[in-house]
Amino acid sequence: MLVLRSSLTRALASRTLAPQVCSPFATGPRQYDGTLYEFRTYYLKPSKMNEFLENFKKNVHLRTAHSELVGYWSAEFGGRMNKVFHIWKYDNFAHRTEVRKALAKDKEWQEQFLIPNLALIDKQESEITYLVPWCKLEKPSKEGVYELATFQMKPGGPALWGDAFKRAVHAHVNLGYTKLVGVFHTEYGALNRVHVLWWNESADSRAAGRHKSHEDPRVVAAVRESVNYLVSQQNMLLIPTSFSPLK
């Protein structure tokens, strides 16, 4: 019995003293306040893109009466065309559920926009994300273009690659050629995925800044460290719509 108690005591002590793995990139702290962001991507029939956007512009007030629209863009470059991307903010999962129920009962929204425009949509995708703890959502002071860079990281989560990824992002920010709007970690969708939303004055200023960053040894060193954990990456150049809160 004494041997058993002694072994149990040592095991508990070992568990107590074991180092705890944590990262400033972890989503845990954000889950306490509950705020989440839904990324929605609609692939539209090529001949119906303009019609869809005009319809949404006329009826956007019906949708934003239920929850906050962060931004709404059309894809200019990167992947499949005739695509719109939008971000919605919710207080928590219960809030999103309430909104979805309210929209299902909103006859104006259903009759004026949803039902007539379902035939224009070819495909829909949705992801639930959190802002990473070290990043606040920023709003640019003037109009420009946006880049959504998506990074698929190795399995293991932010405890494995979060610090290196953070250093790579900040290395670009510190050069000052671009503005960081937000960094989002996917909670539902492809896991170990991070989206970085950037703002630039134009596609040309973005290109010039990228060339500058490729020649900066601090950026090169930070990116070289981060890519050790990278599986794949892709990006899109996004043009804000006239009704997008982020311009």
Q: How many domains does the chain have?
A: 1
The range of the structural domain enclosing residue 124 comes to 36-240
Pairing of strands 179-188, 230-240: unpaired
Burial 103-118 (b: 16+ CB within 10 A, else e): beebeebeeebbeebe
pLDDT for the residue numbered 120: 93
Per-residue pLDDT band for 32 (boundaries 50, 70, 90) equals low
| 7 belongs to a structural domain | no
**Is the pLDDT score of 63 beyond 90?**
yes
pLDDT tens-digit readout, 200-245 = 999 999 999 888 888 888 888 888 889 899 999 999 999 999 999 9
Average pLDDT estimate for 71-100: 95
- Specify the CATH number for the domain of residue 227: 3.30.70.100
Measured CA to CA, the distance from residue 8 to residue 119 in angstroms comes to 64
pLDDT tens-digit readout, 106-121 = 999 999 999 989 999 9
**Is the pLDDT score of 96 beyond 80?**
yes
| 72 belongs to a structural domain | yes
**Is the pLDDT score of 195 beyond 60?**
yes
Give the whole-number percent of the chain exceeding pLDDT 70: 87
Enumerate residues 6+ apart whose C-beta is below 8 A from 102.
66
Measured CA to CA, the distance from residue 25 to residue 183 in angstroms comes to 10
Nearest CA among 124, 130, 155 for reference residue 30: 130
**Is the pLDDT score of 191 beyond 80?**
yes
Element (H, E) at 147: strand 145-153
Give the whole-number percent of the chain exceeding pLDDT 90: 67
CB atoms < 10 A from the CB of 192, how many? 18
| 85 belongs to a structural domain | yes
3-class secondary structure, 177: coil
pLDDT for the residue numbered 15: 38
Instruction: Calculate the average pLDDT of the chain.
Output: 86
3-class secondary structure, 219: helix
| 10 belongs to a structural domain | no
232: exposed, middle or buried (Cβ count in 10 Å: 0-12, 13-18, 19+): exposed
| 12 belongs to a structural domain | no
Lowest mean pLDDT: which of 18-32, 62-76, 139-153, 217-231?
18-32
pLDDT for the residue numbered 212: 86
- Which pair of tokens denotes residue 35? 């705020």
**Is the pLDDT score of 5 beyond 50?**
no
The residue that leads in pLDDT, 21 or 182, is 182
| 121 belongs to a structural domain | yes
pTM for the complete prediction? 0.84
| 4 belongs to a structural domain | no
Measured CA to CA, the distance from residue 150 to residue 53 in angstroms comes to 24
In one letter, which amino acid is 19?
A: P
Measured CA to CA, the distance from residue 175 to residue 209 in angstroms comes to 8
Enumerate residues 6+ apart whose C-beta is below 8 A from 209.
175, 177, 178, 200
| Residue 107 DSSP symbol | H
Measured CA to CA, the distance from residue 229 to residue 160 in angstroms comes to 8
Give the position of tokens 């960053």. 213
pLDDT for the residue numbered 39: 98
Contact status, residue 133 vs residue 29, Cβ threshold 8 Å: yes
Selection from 15-19, 128-132, 222-226 with the highest mean pLDDT: 128-132
Q: What is the largest CA-CA distance in the chain?
A: 79
Nearest CA among 61, 81, 163 for reference residue 122: 81
pLDDT tens-digit readout, 156-180 = 888 888 899 999 999 989 888 899 9
pLDDT for the residue numbered 239: 97
- Which pair of tokens denotes residue 245? 């809160």
| 234 belongs to a structural domain | yes
